[in-house]
């Protein structure tokens, strides 16, 4: 009897997500290494682990940036990651989890060797490409010579490759990964990044009670090293996959 009671107490104490636990639908517009279709991106894993630690499951949906925000604001989906702070002022049904999931390095990319950009203000003379729904980029490029918006990173760099933009703005990691996978010639990331920003998870307001619990889970993940481990593992895993692909292609060519 005593053994049974001890085992029961131990099971109740474990922070696991039971098979019957509620599953929330989260969306993102991110690409590798941050997010992958199979949920294996490092942000996917960070967010899923935070929910697991509060006893909830997650299901991931990939959507264009603006649609992802609208779906959560309208209550179609339960959450969106990861975004800059302050979006609740524009999307009134959103609640921000007050602990960063990740950091973005907003970076200018160009093929023109004469272009040198270090600040948002330096974009003013140029034709700029950006992704619809990236609010910080939209806000900081209003005075550019022209602005062309596209739905995702692939379309953004295709815009640059076709000469329809002088400069495009993307996250440094997204851009580097895309340049590796697509082999665009002559495209370079300008240094330093235009801005570094913490990025957050947002929930529909019906889940507002989860925000402090998720923030606590994310802080715990930083303390115990989980966040650093998952963040470093993501880009490394994608590089290894790319190297294996290149190895297979080389072998086939021989």
User: How far apart, in whole angstroms, are the C-alpha atoms of residue 86 and residue 11?
Assistant: 39
User: How far apart, in whole angstroms, are the C-alpha atoms of residue 118 and residue 236?
Assistant: 28
Strand partners, 189: 109
For residue 23, count other CB atoms closer than 10 A to its CB. 13
Cβ-based neighbours of 86, under 8 Å, separated by 6 or more? none
Q: Quick check: 214 and 81 in contact, CB under 8 A?
A: no
- Annotated domain spans of the chain: 16-102+199-227, 104-196
CA distances to 127, 142, 166 from 145, rounded to whole Å, are 5, 9, 10
According to CATH, the topology of domain 16-102+199-227 is D-Maltodextrin-Binding Protein; domain 2 (3.40.190)
Cβ-based neighbours of 78, under 8 Å, separated by 6 or more? 24, 25, 26, 72, 203, 204, 207
The correct answer on CATH 3.50.50.60 for the domain covering 104-196 is no
pLDDT (tens digit, 0 to 9) for every residue of the chain, 254 residues total? 444 444 444 333 334 445 567 999 999 999 888 999 999 999 999 999 999 999 999 999 999 999 999 999 999 999 999 999 999 999 999 999 999 999 999 999 999 999 999 999 999 999 999 999 999 999 999 999 999 999 999 999 999 999 999 999 999 988 998 888 888 889 999 999 999 999 999 999 999 999 999 999 999 999 999 999 999 875 554 444 444 544 554 444 44
User: How far apart, in whole angstroms, are the C-alpha atoms of residue 141 and residue 213?
Assistant: 36
- How much is the pLDDT for 136? 94
- How much is the pLDDT for 182? 86
- How much is the pLDDT for 177? 87
Q: What is the pLDDT of residues 57-98, one digit of tens each?
A: 999 999 999 999 999 999 999 999 999 999 999 999 999 999
Do 104-196 and 16-102+199-227 have the same topology in CATH? Answer: yes
| pTM, 2 dp | 0.79
- How much is the pLDDT for 27? 98
């Amino acid at each position: 009897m005593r053994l049974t009671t001890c085992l029961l107490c131990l099971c109740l104490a474990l922070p696991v997500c039971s098979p019957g636990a509620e599953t929330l639908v989260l969306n993102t517009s991110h690409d590798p290494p941050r997010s992958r279709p199979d949920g294996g991106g490092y942000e996917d894993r960070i967010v899923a682990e935070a929910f697991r630690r509060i006893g909830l499951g997650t299901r991931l949906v990939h959507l264009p940036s603006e649609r992802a925000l609208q779906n959560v604001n309208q209550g179609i989906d339960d959450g969106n990651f990861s975004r800059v702070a302050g979006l609740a002022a524009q999307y009134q049904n959103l609640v921000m989890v007050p602990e960063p999931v990740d950091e973005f390095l907003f970076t200018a990319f160009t093929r023109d060797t004469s272009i040198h950009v270090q600040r948002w203000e330096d974009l003013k003379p140029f034709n700029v490409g950006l992704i619809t729904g990236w609010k910080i980029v939209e806000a900081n490029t209003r005075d550019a010579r022209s602005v062309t918006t596209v739905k995702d990173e692939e379309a953004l760099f295709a815009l640059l490759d076709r000469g329809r933009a002088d400069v495009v703005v993307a996250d440094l990691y997204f851009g580097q990964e895309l340049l590796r996978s697509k082999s665009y010639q002559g495209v370079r990331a300008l240094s330093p990044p235009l801005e570094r920003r913490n990025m957050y998870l947002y929930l529909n307001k019906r889940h507002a009670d989860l925000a402090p619990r998720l923030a606590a889970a994310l802080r715990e993940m930083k303390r115990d090293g989980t966040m650093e481990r998952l963040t470093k593992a993501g880009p490394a895993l994608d590089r290894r996959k790319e190297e294996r692909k290149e190895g297979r292609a080389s072998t086939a060519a021989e």
